Structure 1
């Protein structure tokens, strides 16, 4: 048995002992940049336009956003502003692209071709520090959720840029954050937030009231070391990218651990500090490694959403 096969067998055995479902993932391909001579510099986040079957990759160090087909063919290189710092991306139902511009502290909105539509500054009231923009998400109603890393909160904006609500505050108790990383909203409007230094994953209702926590922090196989990226699929499963655990972990909406895959390394199927994950509509998983400077695409043999350990 080769080293890769042995590692896969050991990972499957470990998952089985923990009661975690096996995904039976099959590696398809990887992307290391727009072209062989144009590699990623330090990619930060993924976004998916499922209608057009296009993957977006934000690369803040390159100050650009790159698109690829779901088969890996390069598409557009979007540099809609020369000083753009695209720390996060979100797409609405019309295919418009929302970009969190970290350096400018602004939300910029572009159409699918990169033409500007609107923008606004993310500001706080008197007595509050200027927000440091983290990741963003859109809910089914078109409201925008922005992680404010500096003030350890999530800001909720209406479509016209008016501040609607704040979720969380700095602290290590339930309903509080130490280092919020990502935000996602499910179809019921529940707000889910990962925290790389505090409670790993917390769930709030649509009004921002704390509901419950998911996962535990630690070094064991069933625990999360440094949760960052968050993706909610069509079955309401929550996929957490565990950057320092070098894997992706999935929970159901009640917090039951379902799946886990990945291991440390830079070979095919291994992860080197992954920071984001998403699923397309055809049971393919896409993993982004910031330090590995690549995107890997897998096909899952498991019937996702219908399997329980």
Structure 2
């Protein structure tokens, strides 16, 4: 465990990755412990340890902080780890829930990430915080973290070891260093964002605008806006599509491969689409 913990990325390495993302997502999680008598200071109504989780727009882990007492509030924990100072100093846009209000200009609730409120009649997108919650659940999926039974002095190293293994697995067998190459998902530069209700259709037929009617479009339209497929050019545009999600529910992100970008057309509002459809063999659920 100690060897794996040493390999976990430092705060500086994590910020270098975060700076290359359209935005990052910050959330706290509380792995439970059973050391009630010996570790009473770590009890906060529930027995647990406060771990701050930083992810990219796709919910992939970037950083998991050292563990603090469960009684420590999220904003205090993030400050004590230097996360908020690092994000604000680097000018890194960060989405977080209301527990982090007042943490500085870099951090905002999902509806305020760009400095603007949600359009009238639209609910703020909760997709970013859902993805962060998914990453927190990823940590807790490890049996070691479902019910912590070791001394609280060992939990930080345990979390670091799990983070190392998760980052290594995310590179499909690559080295840990490879997971910190800028643009983890840059094997494809094009992405498509769509309601999860379209997942089965996309998996079977690919991205076909005539078949993807199970939910509203990202902008909330009931009918296709173009006779083709909107695509995002890189992670930043994909993050923007996540932010404006008005489908009425959660969304998926699909990577799109083998497309000649010279075939893309502008819809007149700065967004691009590919006329026609994209076969299932060229798309992959991220």
The answer, yes or no, to whether TM exceeds 0.5 is: no
Rg (Cα) greater in structure: 2
Q: TM-score, normalised by structure 1?
A: 0.25
Q: TM-score, normalised by structure 2?
A: 0.27
Higher relative contact order (CA 8 A, sep 6+): 2
